[in-house]
Amino acid sequence: MKNLTKTQRLEFASKSLTGIAIGDSFGDSFFQERDLVELAISKQEILETQWRFTDDTIMAIPIFKSLKNFNEVNQDYITNEFAINYENDPHRGYGPSMHRKLKDFKENKDWLSISKSSFNGQGSMGNGGPMRVSLIGAYFYDDYIKVAEQAKYSCEITHYNNEAIAGSISVAIATAICTRIQLGENISKEEWLDTIIEYTPESDLKYKLIKIKHLPESYHIRTIVSALGNGTKMTAQDTVPFAIWNVYHFMSNFKDCLWSTVSGLGDRDTTCAIAGGIAIMFSESRHIPKIWCNSVEKWEESIFIKEN
C-alpha cells in the first residue's frame, strides 16, 4: 500500500469533508413541506436552496484542523474550536443538548465531565459523533486500528456513549475502505461491509449493520427505513445503518447515493452528510455533479476554518 505524505492525507481528509458539506447542504434543502419534498425527490429536482451547510459540517472542520495541526485528534483543541465556532454562528441547526454543551465548553474546559453527564451519566447516543467523522477514515485509511481509535476520541468529546462511538467507528472505517479501493486495492462491497461490522464495537448499531446483508436494493425505501431507521430519533443507531446501506448499494455513484439517502427523509441533512463523506472517496468523478461542488458553501473559505 502506498505510503502517502501528510499533505496527501490531508487532501483525502479535505475531499471527505467536502462530501460531508455537499451531503449536509443537499439534505438540508429538503426540509420543506412533505408533498413538495416527495415530488421533488421523485423527479430528482433539488428544491430552491442556498446550499448552506449546517452544524454537521461545522463540527467536522475542527477535526480537519486537528489533523492538520497535530496529525491526530486532539480532544482539548477540538473542544475549544467547537465552542468558538458555535459562538461564531449558533444558528446552524444545533440540537438542544448541543446548545447546552457548547455553551458549557466555553465556561468549563472539562469536556469529559460535560460529555459524560448527559442522560444521567450514560452519555448521549446522538448522531453528532458519526456525522463529522468520515474524514478521519480518509486520513488514516491504511490503519484500521488507528481509524477506530481516533474516531472514538473524536466522538467522546460530545457523545460519551457506546452506541455513538460504535456509529463513529463504523463511519470512519467505511470511509477508510473506500479510500483504499480508490487507491487500487481490490475489495468487494461484501468485504467492505464485513470489515465495517468487524471493527464496530458490540452494540445495537452493529446488529443493524448486519441486517444490511438481508436488505437488497430492490426493497422499497420505506421498508429499509422501517428496518434501519432514518435518523428521526436522532440516535446513532437510528441514523448510521441507513447511511451505510445507501453507500453499500451506491458506493461508486455519489449522486445516486445522495438521492437514495434523502428519499428516506428523517434527519436528512445528517444521513446525507454521513453518506456523502464516505461515498465521495470512491465515487467516479462523473457521478459527482460539478454544479453541486460549485454551489455548496465553501467550508475551506468559511469563518469556521480560520485559526483562532
Across-strand partners of 126? 235
Q: Which residues fall within 8 angstroms of residue 49, CB to CB, at 6 or more apart?
A: 25, 28, 29
pLDDT in the model for residue 1: 64
Which residue's C-alpha cell is 439517502?
A: 261
CATH number of the CATH domain containing 173: 1.10.4080.10
Q: Which amino acid is at 52?
A: R
Q: Which amino acid is at 63?
A: I
Q: Rounded to an integer, what distance in angstroms lies between the CA atom of residue 48 and that of residue 25?
A: 12
Q: Kindly list the distances between the CA atom of residue 212 and the CA atoms of 231, 245, 275, in Å, as whole numbers in the listed order.
A: 16, 6, 15
Residue 232 lies in a domain: yes
**Element spanning 282, H or E:** none
Residue 13 lies in a domain: yes
Q: Rounded to an integer, what distance in angstroms lies between the CA atom of residue 76 and that of residue 78?
A: 6
Give the range of the structural domain holding residue 263, as residue numbers without chain letter.
6-305
Confidence of residue 269 (pLDDT cuts 50, 70, 90): very high
Q: Rounded to an integer, what distance in angstroms lies between the CA atom of residue 153 and that of residue 159?
A: 10
The conformation of residue 201, written as its DSSP 8-state character, comes to P
**φ/ψ of residue 126, rounded to 5:** -65, 170
Residue 270 lies in a domain: yes
Residue 1 lies in a domain: no
Q: Rounded to an integer, what distance in angstroms lies between the CA atom of residue 86 and that of residue 105?
A: 10
Q: Kindly list the distances between the CA atom of residue 188 and the CA atoms of 176, 180, 191, 218, in Å, as whole numbers in the listed order.
A: 14, 11, 5, 19
Residue 291 lies in a domain: yes
Q: Rounded to an integer, what distance in angstroms lies between the CA atom of residue 99 and that of residue 68?
A: 27
Q: Rounded to an integer, what distance in angstroms lies between the CA atom of residue 127 and that of residue 166?
A: 11
**φ/ψ of residue 305, rounded to 5:** -95, -10
Total structural domains within the chain: 1
User: Residue 31 CB: number of other CB atoms within 10 A?
Assistant: 15
Residue 120 lies in a domain: yes
pLDDT in the model for residue 190: 97
Summarize the confidence of residues 91-98 as an average pLDDT.
91
What pTM was estimated for this model as a whole? 0.97
Please check whether residue 136 is in contact with residue 67, taking contact to mean a CB–CB distance below 8 angstroms: yes
Tens digits of residue pLDDT in 171-220: 999 999 999 999 999 999 999 999 999 999 999 999 999 999 999 999 99
Decide if pLDDT at 119 tops 80.
Answer: no
Confidence of residue 107 (pLDDT cuts 50, 70, 90): confident
pLDDT in the model for residue 2: 65
Confidence of residue 113 (pLDDT cuts 50, 70, 90): very high
Tens digits of residue pLDDT in 17-63: 999 999 999 999 999 999 999 999 999 999 888 999 999 999 999 99
Residue 171 lies in a domain: yes
In percent, the amount of the chain with pLDDT more than 70 equals 99
pLDDT in the model for residue 160: 95
Q: Rounded to an integer, what distance in angstroms lies between the CA atom of residue 112 and that of residue 159?
A: 10
Q: Which residues fall within 8 angstroms of residue 90, CB to CB, at 6 or more apart?
A: 99, 102
Confidence of residue 95 (pLDDT cuts 50, 70, 90): confident
Across-strand partners of 235? 126
